[in-house]
Amino acid sequence: MIGSANGTRVGITGLGVCVPERVVTNDDLARHVDTSDEWIVERTGIHERRMIAEDQALTDIALPAAQAALQDARIGEGDVDLIICATVTPDMMFPTASALIADSLGARDAAAYDLLAGCTGFMYAVAQAYGMLAAGLSRRALVIGGDVLSSILDWTDRSTLVLFGDGAGAVVMEPVGHGGFLGFELGADGGGGVHLQLPGSGSRKFESPESMLRMNGREVYKFATRVMVSSAEAVLAECGRTIDEVDVYVPHQANKRIIDHAVGKLGVPPERTVVNVDRFGNTSSGSIPLALADARADGRLRDGALVLMTGMGAGLTWGSALLEWTDRRSA
């Protein structure tokens, strides 16, 4: 699915993030599996990641991120009428994380639902919020992307344990006078879903009663390196833009090797690419908003900057968005 924006301009007017306090280094993981800091860094570029405490769950990091986004947008909780939470690790299947967050915020009249699209969840959620706002079905949306993948990892599986971390980010989206989203490209390949799955997490029965993340790393790598490039190229073409015009490239932070491949194929200058996988690992739906926060902290998200975001993950799914950043504080 691909489309360019028309009519109402919709942009991001607030951004907030939250990561757990607990830092888990590669040396810490080496106490659980046969690995080393050198081995992990060489293959993934990851030095450390954040993980929640045993008594925490998704909403413990998603709620502070949402509150920070609302504060950044300078609006109150009651001003939001739509809340979408992209996650594969909610506190529970129901009530949804979005409903729990809405209640904690006091946004009791807001529509709230969770969205499940793996690591691409934030991109899907942003596209859905755009559609609701552009159609006039919502006035102001809060989109949250976050996961606590540490809760579904097999701590005896080196191939997955070293990749993932916990984190959450949120954005406020609303009509804007200038800038905003220019287009989206989304897709899915359920036939490849077997390569990245959580068996036993739904109604289908499996032999093992334990629900843990399973991944065929070789196949997921081939998928990721392909769609990170093709999805970005597709949304740029749809919007009539070129990669040379992109000021900030925000790829999903899955693996430094995947990011480097995409940067090389697309021809994005490294200085325009946001990379924080070294500090946070793969935080799934939290990945892109965390990277956006780093880009803003570095001063790269100036008013009018052309931002390209691309995600990919379980499903298998992928999605890209192109927008002109709206900084109303500098307008």
Q: What is the mean pLDDT of each run of 10 residues along the chain (331 residues)?
A: 78 98 98 96 98 97 98 94 98 97 95 98 98 97 98 94 98 96 97 92 79 92 97 98 98 97 96 98 98 97 97 97 86 46
Decide if 195 is catalytic: no
Is the same domain home to 139 and 203? no
Is the same domain home to 44 and 165? yes
Is the same domain home to 202 and 316? yes
Q: Note the pLDDT of residue 200.
A: 82
Decide if 47 is catalytic: no
Tell me, yes or no, whether 60 lies in a domain: yes
Q: Which of these three, 144, 161, 177, is where a domain ends?
A: 177
Tell me, yes or no, whether 309 lies in a domain: yes
- CATH code for the domain in which residue 274 is found: 3.40.47.10
Short-list 134, 133, 79, CA closest to 102: 79
Q: Note the pLDDT of residue 327.
A: 87
- State the catalytic residue, choosing from 18, 85, 252, 261: 252
Decide if 18 is catalytic: no
Q: Note the pLDDT of residue 203.
A: 86
Q: Note the pLDDT of residue 331.
A: 46
- State the catalytic residue, choosing from 18, 26, 85, 119: 119
Is the same domain home to 186 and 143? no
Look up the domain containing 157 and give its range: 2-177
Tell me, yes or no, whether 331 lies in a domain: no
Q: Which of these three, 109, 142, 177, is where a domain ends?
A: 177
Is the same domain home to 199 and 282? yes
Number of domains the chain contains: 2
Is the same domain home to 150 and 205? no
Is the same domain home to 62 and 139? yes
Q: How far apart are CA 77 and CA 63, in angstroms?
A: 12
Q: Note the pLDDT of residue 267.
A: 97
Write the DSSP symbol of residue 5: -
**Residue pointed to by tokens 């807001």:** 110
Give the CA diameter of the chain.
58
**CA-CA distances (angstroms) from residue 329 to 83, 108, 143, 302, 325?**
24, 29, 21, 10, 12
Task: Determine the residue type at 244.
Answer: D
Tell me, yes or no, whether 330 lies in a domain: no
Is the same domain home to 123 and 34? yes
Is the same domain home to 73 and 164? yes
Tell me, yes or no, whether 166 lies in a domain: yes
Instruction: Check: pTM over 0.75? Answer yes or no.
Output: yes
